[in-house]
Amino acid sequence: MAIYNNKFKKDSMKTFKKSNIISALILLLIVGFWYFIYISPYFERESPDIQIPNMSYWNLKYDIPIKINDKSGVKSYKVIAIIENEERVLLDKDGNSENEIKFNLPRPKINLSNGDKIVYKIIARDNSNYNFFLGNKIEKEFELIIDTKLPKVRIIQMSNVITKGGSAAVVFYVSDDAIGDISVTNGYQSFVVFPFHKPNYYVSIIPWYITNPTFKGAIIAKDKAGNTRKFSINFIRYNRNYRTSNLTLKSNFIDGKITELIENENEFEIDKFKSPIEMFKYVNEVIRNKDSDKIDSKILNLDSSLDNITSFKPIENAKIVGLFGDHRIFSFNKMDAGEAYHLGIDLASVKNASIIASNDGLVVMSEELGIYGNTIIIEHGYGIASLYSHLDSRYKKEGDIVKKGEIIGRSGSSGLAFGDHLHFGILVQGRFSISNEWMDSKWLKINIIDVLNNAKEIIERDNAKD
């Protein structure tokens, strides 16, 4: 009997061990299977990605691009439109296992009116074997409001005349339920607008850049649906002719100022240049363009008003020694050496004359700047900034608030300057404009101050009627 019991125990132990091994193998297979599913690209669990432009309004004219991406390939996709609680299937297609599907959002084949709402539902499924071989699914829902009306634009007040190289002001009203972007153009460059006095009213001072052959002013109002109205600004245009000066470069000028400016750049050794003309062109073209880019980068287009602006008089008892717009053509040893426009006015008085801030503002630049030398730029509001160059010394730093009448520096001959003087410039949204206009109190009153003040009166009167 004891022998039988021992045998039974041994058999039971063998069976138990065998059962445990089988169970362990089954468990290992299960774990391995699920691990395979977890890491296998055939069972990836990432849903397709549906990319839709960020918009809420649609004018039905422009296509709305839709993109669906998936690593395992798009198996199918469907577009449903819900209009007045009724679902309409607009698109139902196989994805042919493509990793990327592109199509334009289909339009419902019914008449839609301004203000109607469409709820779109896009459903996509991928080729993954995950989710019991059904794949990953995604649904995206978004609403679009039909908007087919153009924004309304009305000019409130504007300057009568704009001169080539100069600037002019316009105040206008824009109305739209979903206004998007508003800008103005001179036909070649676009400029920002600033909120003015009351909601939906805007102001912009627009330059006619000196190298632009014509001026084609317009207000461009675009709503969130893409409806765009272009409204002409019909200033009287005066196509002013500017002087052309032929200047002969001397060797001592190349060896002096030009060499000094190149060395200050710390980019090239002087002996890298093959000729004096190449040296001058580097300064006149490369450094000049760098300086222009730097100035552009500093302009903030502050939206502070010009309520208290007065004519600019940066230096007392000064003589004009350089005109705005002078087209300078350079030569060396009777060979062409390039050209440049003088985009400011040169004023000379006593040596190291006091430079005075004519209007309140924010210093947006105070540094040594290539051909301009020691330079300060003060921004005053509505995109207007004043530039003071060739200074001997600067008393203000970037970020300083300046008040009218403060001394900001002293005149000098830094940069590409001949003798002690101030190069004074006016920038209108980063574009140099006729400095003399802003130094003329009569011009400033008629073309800027009166336009702004009269516009405020008209706006108040119009709003009182409402």
Non-local (6+) Cβ contacts of 406 within 8 A are 356, 357, 396
| pLDDT number for residue 272 | 86
Asked whether residue 311 carries a pLDDT value surpassing 90, the answer given is yes
- For 309, other C-beta atoms within 10 Å of its C-beta total 21
Question: Residues 202-218: pLDDT tens digits?
Answer: 999 999 999 999 999 99
| pLDDT number for residue 458 | 96
Asked whether residue 137 carries a pLDDT value surpassing 90, the answer given is no
Q: Is 336 exposed, middle or buried (0-12, 13-18, 19+ CB in 10 A)?
A: exposed
**Between these two residues, 73 and 19, which has the higher pLDDT value?**
73
Mean of pLDDT over the chain? 90
Amino acid letter, 180: G
**Between these two residues, 35 and 431, which has the higher pLDDT value?**
431
Question: Residues 371-387: pLDDT tens digits?
Answer: 999 999 999 999 999 99
**Between these two residues, 242 and 5, which has the higher pLDDT value?**
242
387 neighbors 371 (Cβ within 8 angstroms): no
| pLDDT number for residue 271 | 79
Asked whether residue 134 carries a pLDDT value surpassing 80, the answer given is no
CA–CA gap between residue 344 and residue 359 (Å, rounded): 18
DSSP H helix total and E strand total for the chain: 9, 29
CA–CA gap between residue 402 and residue 357 (Å, rounded): 7
| pLDDT number for residue 72 | 84
Asked whether residue 70 carries a pLDDT value surpassing 60, the answer given is yes
Asked whether residue 161 carries a pLDDT value surpassing 70, the answer given is yes
Question: How much is the average pLDDT of 178-188?
Answer: 96
Asked whether residue 28 carries a pLDDT value surpassing 90, the answer given is no
**Could you tell me the pTM of the whole model?**
0.84
CA–CA gap between residue 233 and residue 411 (Å, rounded): 40
Q: What percentage of residues in the chain have a pLDDT greater than 70?
A: 88
The DSSP letter of residue 370 is: G
Q: What percentage of residues in the chain have a pLDDT greater than 90?
A: 76
Place of tokens 């800027």: 448
Question: Residues 261-307: pLDDT tens digits?
Answer: 998 887 777 878 889 999 999 999 999 999 999 999 999 887 778 88
Question: Do the bridges between strand 407-411 and strand 354-356 make them parallel or antiparallel, or are there none, so unpaired?
Answer: antiparallel
Place of tokens 């005053």: 380
Question: Do the bridges between strand 218-223 and strand 228-232 make them parallel or antiparallel, or are there none, so unpaired?
Answer: antiparallel
Question: How much is the average pLDDT of 40-55?
Answer: 77
277 neighbors 285 (Cβ within 8 angstroms): no
CA–CA gap between residue 438 and residue 172 (Å, rounded): 22
Question: Residues 54-65: pLDDT tens digits?
Answer: 999 999 999 999
| pLDDT number for residue 25 | 66
C-alpha 132: how far from chain center: 50
Question: How much is the average pLDDT of 391-419?
Answer: 96
Question: How much is the average pLDDT of 50-54?
Answer: 93
What pLDDT band is residue 97 in, cutting at 50, 70 and 90? confident
| pLDDT number for residue 224 | 94
Question: Residues 220-231: pLDDT tens digits?
Answer: 999 999 999 999
Q: Provide the 3-class DSSP secondary structure of residue 252.
A: helix
The DSSP letter of residue 107 is: P
| pLDDT number for residue 273 | 87
376 neighbors 409 (Cβ within 8 angstroms): yes
| pLDDT number for residue 7 | 54
